[in-house]
Each structure stands twice: as C-alpha cells, then as structure tokens.
Structure 1
Amino acid sequence: MDRDDGARAWQERRPVTTLDTPGARLQPLHDVRGIYAELRRRGLLDPLRALQRPSAFKSLVALGFDWACILAAWALVLWAPLHLALLTVPLAVLLMGARQRALGNLLHEAGHKMLCGSRGLNDHLADLAVGIPTLSPVRCYRAKHLKHHAHLGVAESDPDFIHAEEDLQGTAWSLFARHFFDRGMFLSNLCGNWGSLSARERVAAAVWWALLLGALALAAGPAGALVFAVLWIVARMTVFHGITVFREISDHVGLQPGSVLGFTRNSPHKPVLSFFLHPHENNYHLTHHLAPTVPFHRLRAAHKIFMQVPEYAAAHQCDSYFSGRRSVIACWVRGCLRWHRGGKSAAEAEA
C-alpha cells in the first residue's frame, strides 16, 4: 500500500467516540486512533511511552528560571539609573509578562500531573510556585483544562473554545484585537480563577503575597516592594494578556472543529520568539493533544516520533510565526492560503 492509499484508508476509518456527557456532541477520535495504530505498526509506541516520565529536577529548574527572570526584571527597574527608565521599565514589563506566561505553562503541566511523579508533590509545588500567586490553584485549572481535552472543538462543552466563523473573515490582526479587547478574556487573564477560589485559597493568596512583598520590602524598602507589585500587575494586564491571547488563538482558531488533527496546530520552534510566545515547548500543541502524558521537556522528542507518521506530518505544522503562507497567523483567518492535506486554500478546496 503506497502512502496515498494508506492516508486514504486512514481517513476513511469509521469514527469512534469516547465522550458520554449528556447533551454534548460526541467528538470523533478516529484520527487519534489512526495515529496510534500507525505508531504501533511502525514500532514507535515504546519509544513514545519512554518519554512519559516527568522530571521533578527539570520542573524545579524551569520554575526557578522563570522566577529568577521575574526578580531580575524587578531589579533592572529598581537599580538601573533613573534616566534609563524609559528603556528599563518596558523591558522589565516585557520580561516579567513573558515569564508569567511561562509559569502559566508550568501550571498547565501540573494540571496533567507532569511536574513530578508524585501527585501530592506535583499539586503542592504547582500551587506554591504558580497557582496561589496567580489566583489559579491547580485544582481549578485541572477541572477546566481536562474538559478542553475531552470536548475539544465542541462549542457547548469546551471551555477554551473561542473559534467563531464570523470572526475569521477579516485580518489576523483584527481577530487578535477582537480577543485582546474582550472584557471576559482580559479579566480572566488578570484575575485568574478568583471567583472559583475557596475562602482558604483566598487567604492563602493574601498570605503568599504578604510574605513576598514583606521580603522585598526588607531587601529594597517599601518603595521597592511597591515597584514589584506595580510591575507585576502592569505586566499581567499587558504582555501576559497579549501573549495568552496570541497563544489561545494559535492553538485552534481558524481550523476545522471535529477532530484533533484538523483542529489543532503546532507552532514553530524559534529560540527567541518561542521564549516569549511559547515558553517551555508549548508550541507543540498538536503533539500535546495527542500525547498529554509527555512532559514539556520531552515534547520535541515526541514530535519527532510523531513526524514519522504521514498523517501527523501532513497536519498543521507551522514553520514561522508571522511571514509566509505556512506561518501561524496565516491560518487564523479564512482569506489566506491553507496547506493542510494538499496545500490548497479554502476556496480551492471547495471548488
């Protein structure tokens, strides 16, 4: 059987469904089953399974690096000469907001119990380092995020579903602006899951911030602690919010709901841009949906394994962020060239 015949047979497999939530449309998972059948046929399942081991050490290094960058951004503003403030403050906000997003990606890892092998340690570490200070305890995040995986692309059930055909007729930047200025998304990115926090979690957040700001006040005075608080909030409102909107759109918007392969894209791995837009290998989003038990530091290796499956290789694999027809933003909207399964535009595919 040649590649074209194999792909056709794979696409024509009878869909199977796993969701049984009353009132929800069942999500076809035939593409996932097909991918794993092909992995098994090629002898790639064992190498993939070998990647399903979280590393507490690498998670601690990642958490430490992100917080070190955040504190470095604060120190840059605090101790740089005042006449450089027009340069240092924007740089600090950019760096702090980017690492706030990176911490959010590590909270995502904890939601899948992939920070470390022990679930108890996984959750406590995630809450202490990320969940409590960002008002998003891992229990709240996990409950919401696992629904996204289970109900991917089902508008009524997927809590992260922001794909709307009426938003896809303009430009990529009008789509970005539409979500960036969305009040609900802004408040969610600024306030986390505040409305879902228990009284105990709210007290924990207040104590956490009191301890941190108290320590910073001891180190740099009350004004220094105030500078950190202002930088944190401004970064959260601007850079963190903007990166999160970009990431949310890039994961699924503009694609075709109904399957994992058809409704999920991988963004490119670009050392500088990925540091800001997709830290901790978060660009491999299709890989993650197919293998959510692979930790962030092994997603690139998992992607290389999946790339040996023709159907995965032919899926939405972007090679740049902003330029070219295979860029991330090129397939946010409908009026652009599309390459999925043959490289035709939407109009050409319908003709």
Structure 2
Amino acid sequence: MSVTDVRGSGHRSAFPDWDTIHHAMTSPDVIHVVVDIVFDWMSITAAMLILHRLGWWSSPAIVAWVGNRQRALGNLLHDAAHRNLARSCRLNDALARLFIEPALFNSLALYRELHARHHAWLGDPARDPDYIAVRPNPADRWWQPFFKVLLAPAAWLSSTFGHLHLSRLSWMQRFGMVGWWAAVLGAVALVWGVHAAALFFGIWMLARATVFHAITTFRELCDHFGLEQGGIFGYTRDVSSRSLWRRIIHPRNNGYHLTHHLMPSIPYHRLAHAQRELLALPVFAGAARVCHAYFSGADAAVREWEVHGGDNVAA
C-alpha cells in the first residue's frame, strides 16, 4: 500500500481533522534543524577532545556517544529525504549534502529513492528495501531475531559503509564523499595534528560498525517487525516512551513511525505533537499500535517480536 493510498479520499473521511492537523504540522523550523545539526557535530568534537585528554580508557563511552550521534544524523538524513528540514528544497538538500550525507557515506538522491520505495511498497518482500526477512523460531526470545539481523553481513555493510558498497553509486558521488572526508580530516590535522585526524576517522568507523549498527538494527525492528502485513495501521508501530532508551534508540523522534507513515511531511521535531493530536481522534486511537516501552511491560515493543515475528518471514 502506498502513502498516497492512505492520504486518498477514502481515508480522509475517517480523519475529519486531517487537513487542520496536517497543515499546522508540516512547516519545518529550519532554526531548530540547524541547532540540532550543530549540537551533533559539536558534541562529537567534544567527545574526541575528551578522548584525546583522558586517554583510551574513555574510548568505550566515546564510541557509544559517537554512534548515537551518528544515528541522530541518520534520522536527520531521513527527514531530508522527505524534504522536511527546510521549506526551501534547495536549503533542505544543501544542509543534508554539506553536513550529513557524506559523513554517513550516503547519497541523498539514492536514499530518497530507496526510502520512497519503502513507503510505496510497505511490507512487500520483493519491493520494500527495508523489509526484514528472518526466519525466527516460534520459541525465540526477542533478542534472537535481533541478533539474526545484527549479524547479517548485508546489514552490517550497510551500517558501516552506507552506500559505498552499492554498485549504483556513481564515481562522481564516491569522489564527492572522498573529497568531503579529505577536507574534514585535513582541517583536523591542521588544527590538532595527523594523529588526531587518524584517531577521529578510526573512532568514527568503529562507532559505525558497532554502536551505530546495533542501534540501527534495533530501531528497524521497532518500526515494523512482528506486525501483520497488509496495511499501514497493521504493519507499523509508534514507540512513545519517556525512558532514556528513547534518546538512545530513537533520537530525533524517530520512534513515531506510524505517525510518520501516515503523514510523512511532518518534520521530526513536530511528530510528538502530531501524534498527540491524532490520538484525540477515536479512529486513530482505536487502530494505532502504540508501544510505551522498549523492553518491559505487556506493551513493550520487543514482546511483539517474540509472538508474531514469523509474520515478517519472506516468502
């Protein structure tokens, strides 16, 4: 089912306040976006300076922080693919291409194309590029499908090297990424020395291969895994939690995935408010799958991986 199907006339009648909610929520706050981008990069810089000062014993915490901020930047790239960073398409794409895209070894154009397929062919094993095809045992605990996806070579390559390993990436796009990294590492070397530049790149890649990959895997399972295929409401969940886990697993409000699929033009910084507005509509509240925890409680997201995980098995 495509996003346009959900926004068609048949579904609009079920949401009497759709237009009011949608138009009030679809205006990106570019200042908010810029502040978030600056925070991510400044905190990564601060983490590297702390590592340089305190030594290698602090490296586990530094890798964990950098991996979490990489996930935050990845979620901003997701919003850029929907043109939700700024009202101007040029500014939206410029922000992504200057501060996010090359750092994550991703092409915004390719990401936008693949993600559009995910929305258009949600849950289709043959056409949804984000479809998770695992074969869990009915007796599996939640961590077993998690590790099956985590240890899949294709998933690890994607997390670690972004689009670099894809043949569809052009040589000009690869050259652009190499040029961006050469400029960044050259600037670091000029200010702090070659050793600092090598250390930064090493920590960056280590974080992508470990913490970023683990968070990304868990987040992707949270989105759709363990739910019934056949429609947005049945196959997508919101994870609305106030715990610290939300900031680790879903920085930048990425856990409001059902709300996002219903209204993909809502910027990330307005998703929580949009979900509250939608929950006031009985038709949404009655059909939406909203988890309020990740690990504990009857409505924890991971519980559904155990009970219905087999529904995600590709034919």
Normalising by structure 2, report the TM-score: 0.91
Q: Per-residue CA shift, 1:58-95, capped at 9, x if unaligned? A: 11111111111211221111112x3xx32x10110000
Contact 1:180–1:245 at 8 Å: present in 2 too? yes
Letter of the aligned partner of 2:51 in structure 1?
Answer: V
Give the drift of 1:304.
0.8
Report whether the alignment pairs 1:321 with 2:300. no
Q: Which residue does the alignment assign to 2:126?
A: 156
Give the drift of 1:34.
6.2
Q: Which has the larger radius of gyration?
A: 1
Q: How does 1:126-205 map to 2 (within 5 A)?
A: 126-164=96-134, 166-167=135-136, 169=138, 170-194=140-164, 195=166, 196-205=168-177
Give the drift of 1:295.
0.4
Identity %: 36
Q: Which of 80, 96, 104 does residue 110 from structure 1 map onto?
A: 80
Q: Per-residue CA shift, 1:125-148, capped at 9, x if unaligned? A: 101111112111210100000100
Distance 2:248 2:43 in 1: 12
Give the drift of 1:108.
0.3
Contact 1:112–1:142 at 8 Å: present in 2 too? yes
Distance 2:109 2:295 in 1: 35
Q: How many residues align?
A: 306
Letter of the aligned partner of 1:50 in structure 2?
Answer: A
Give the drift of 1:270.
2.3
Letter of the aligned partner of 1:171 in structure 2?
Answer: R
Change (3 A) 1:210 1:156: same
Q: Which of 50, 55, 58 does residue 24 from structure 2 map onto?
A: 50
For residue 38 of structure 1, give the secondary structure of its aligned residue in structure 2. coil
Report whether the alignment pairs 1:75 with 2:45. no
Q: Which residue does the alignment assign to 2:223?
A: 251
**Mind listing any 5+ residue stretches in structure 1 that lack a counterpart?**
1-16, 20-26, 337-345, 347-351
**Mind listing any 5+ residue stretches in structure 2 that lack a counterpart?**
none
Report whether the alignment pairs 1:235 with 2:207. yes
Which has the larger helix fraction?
2
For residue 332 of structure 1, give the secondary structure of its aligned residue in structure 2. helix
Contact 1:260–1:289 at 8 Å: present in 2 too? yes
Q: Which residue does the alignment assign to 1:37?
A: 13
Change (3 A) 1:120 1:79: same
Q: How does 1:282-293 map to 2 (within 5 A)?
A: 282-293=254-265
Q: Per-residue CA shift, 1:139-161, capped at 9, x if unaligned? A: 01000001000111111111101
**Higher RCO (CA < 8 A, seq sep 6+):** 2
Q: Which residue does the alignment assign to 1:5?
A: none
**Most deviating of 293-302 and 195-204:** 195-204
Distance 1:312 1:69 in 2: 38
Distance 1:208 1:236 in 2: 18
Contact 1:281–1:296 at 8 Å: present in 2 too? yes
Contact 1:268–1:321 at 8 Å: present in 2 too? no
Distance 1:92 1:35 in 2: 46
Q: Per-residue CA shift, 1:201-247, capped at 9, x if unaligned? A: 11111111111111111222111111111110100000000000001
Q: Which residue does the alignment assign to 1:218?
A: 190
Q: Which of 78, 84, 98 does residue 68 from structure 2 map onto?
A: 98
**Most deviating of 29-38 and 266-275:** 29-38
Report whether the alignment pairs 1:331 with 2:286. no
For residue 256 of structure 1, give the secondary structure of its aligned residue in structure 2. coil
Distance 2:36 2:7 in 1: 33
Q: RMSD of the alignment, in Å? A: 2.1
Distance 1:35 1:62 in 2: 34
For residue 254 of structure 1, give the secondary structure of its aligned residue in structure 2. coil
Distance 1:173 1:289 in 2: 26
Q: Which residue does the alignment assign to 1:273?
A: 245
Contact 2:75–2:251 at 8 Å: present in 1 too? yes
Distance 1:273 1:186 in 2: 22
Distance 1:117 1:297 in 2: 14
